[in-house]
Structure 1
């Protein structure tokens, strides 16, 4: 029996299998969500992209079925639950693998799976996020295998190269890549490169000797771009002329990327179209970095980088020597903006001016290193609507209500 079906309430009739999928929810616990702000202001944890896929997409492809979000009330209208009752709760901050899938789907009724003190999953009956949280106290069984757990925003870029490889293997199994037709494109490690239909490449250098390169449908790589895997380029995204893309980077669908990118994740429909460096960073959706915007990812004294923690309301030690910028959705930076190591930018911030802006920029901030004021909500919404319409997306009432909640509860520019 194929392991991905084992435990999913199979009915076995000789060699014939009837599979009855369980109702599965990826559950956001408040403690986990708080540690992943500002990215989780605007999405459930399972909607975070790491590797090629989002966490939800990883679970759905490996389980071969649809799963639901159970997330914060402020996100429930945009990300509603798909069921009114569930049989299996999974920690939405955990990335799946084949061994973990096997253990989870073989849990006994009213049994919880843990790795040390980390809750992974529970099999039991529940309908709400609060009811799912009660299941954590059920009898525990230990999981000792490999586990990728996204406990902080910087966990995303730290584990991105690994997850690109995992997703690449999952998505390309049994499939044949579209060809690279351009005679002027130089390729190393061609067996580790996969193109979906409609990819355009001209006079680029692709090096997949040390990790795979995955190019989604309709993506484009322009002349002179140099790319080293592991790397993933989303549907309809574009790498501009002479860009330099280093290992461990993911560019989401609809993005336009230029300059230098290193071990970073850029979510859908965000632009870093011009020269400038972005390293060891995560950018949310609908962001824009102006020309020659740069971030520092290494302190001059080579000590650990500290980053703002919403949970404690203070800076904490990341224990990382390389750590750059984390930016929430709909935030923008003007030309020549310089971000210091370990900078956190909230949602709908507009940053401009000379010098380094502060390392913690709350949501709906307007300004730079000299002063920050609160961004007028209506003006911010007008900009968000224009930006989304430029890429064929409709800014709707649900989007506005979610952003208004963030504005009322988390914008504290001063």
Structure 2
């Protein structure tokens, strides 16, 4: 069995900031699982990572004399997985657009090497790649379906025992052991619903599939979930949420609307926080690009908030259509916020922004993480410091 190494495509990694400041590309969640979890399950193997140097201590790379490098932005399916696993030594599998999808080699290989010295095989079939931040929510519904089918093909659901919960098309609902559902409506007519281990769906929640909630996740009382939404493990969500992905350990526990958006880990949205996901003129939404430091056309009419890890918003914060918030940002104040809040910023559109003191940011992050019983050690602090130093130029502009 080869060592499976999920590599960061340098171009794609930049396009997936701010989420890839704090994780490899394959650490992104889309559907029920992260991309790394999908490949580990498909390959029946542990995986390692080829990523930025400052991330490599937390996400190490393991190689041997049989290495299978797989593009970390690639979403596996059964046919693609078979082709990748059967790739001969010394071969590179590339997409029709020329992107390296996989490399099989006895020696070490780096993404910057491209296909030099390798025999090239072109993959002609359709595939799914998470190339841009908006692909995370854009592909989420299809990935929930794919992950769900993989789960139900080998496992059986726990029953719904609450007599006050009503389920439409119960054969499209999968419930893990320990999950609690109380007086809620589950509508799986248009897509599957996955309820993770020990998740809690509180009274009056209304869910439309496709939907997934991870282990220990919570939907607060009266939550309205619209299709193509994922609530990651240990996250709490309330209010109205539509076509969003919450990576994990984040809170949007109160009323307010979140649509066509992505939240990283350890984020918090204050009560009555809302975002716009549609321009008044129904034009294409533009997002801040870390690659060009300018606005990039998403080609989408609907696109909301992209918020990096450890960031927070005060009560009644209003986010504009197509807003990027970096890592460890505190956003608050009246009016619509700026379309880009650089990492380690503190303030808002009305008050202006200043730099978030690094020592204070680390102290808050440690407290946030420790309250969930998760370790925050020197490795995590070093990652935050690297992001802080790498983004100083953005805050000075």
With the shorter chain as reference, the TM-score category is: over 0.9
Q: Is the 8 A contact 1:86 1:127 kept in 2?
A: no
Which whole-Å deviations, capped at 9, do the CAs of 1:286-328 have from their partners, x for residues lacking one?
A: 0000000001000000000000110111111000000001000
- Structure 1 position 164 matched with structure 2 position 131: no
Pick aligned residue for 2:106 from 125, 129, 132: 125
TM-score normalised per structure 1: 0.93
Cα pair distance change 1:172/1:133, threshold 3 Å:
farther
Which segments of 5 or more consecutive residues in structure 2 lack a partner in the other structure?
Answer: none
Aligned residue for 2:382?
A: 401
* Residue 158 of structure 2 is aligned to residue 178 of structure 1: yes
Matching residue of 2:395: 413
Q: Which moved more, 1:84-93 or 1:72-81?
A: 84-93
Superposition pairs for residues 86-125 of structure 1, below 5 Å? 86-116=66-96, 117-125=98-106
Counterpart of 1:295 in structure 2 is 275
5+ residue gaps in structure 1? 1-20
- 5 Å-filtered alignment, 1:233-272, equals 233-272=213-252
Q: Write out the 4+ residue segments of structure 1 that deviate beyond 6 Å after TM superposition.
A: none
Check conservation: 1:256, 1:272, Cα contact below 8 A: yes
Say which SS state the counterpart of residue 265 (structure 2) adopts: coil
Q: Deviations over 1:136-187 (max 9, x none)?
A: 6622212122201010000111100000011001112132211110000010
Structure 2 counterparts to residues 8-19 of structure 1, below 5 A: none
* Corresponding residue to 2:256 among 276, 282, 286: 276
Q: Deviations over 1:238-278 (max 9, x none)?
A: 00000000000000110110001100000111000000011
Aligned residues: 393
TM-score with structure 2 setting the length: 0.97
Deviation at 1:403, TM superposition (A): 0.3
Superposed CA RMSD? 1.3
Who is 1:6 aligned against? Answer: none
Contact persistence 1:122–1:136 (CA under 8 A): no
Give the Cα separation in 2 of the matches to 1:252 and 1:109.
37
Task: Tell me, yes or no, if the aligned pair for 2:66 and 2:104 is still in contact at 8 Å.
Answer: no
SS in structure 1 opposite 2:38? helix
Q: CA deviation at 1:332?
A: 0.2
Aligned to 1:385: 366
Change (3 A) 1:128 1:374: farther
Shift of 1:40: 0.1
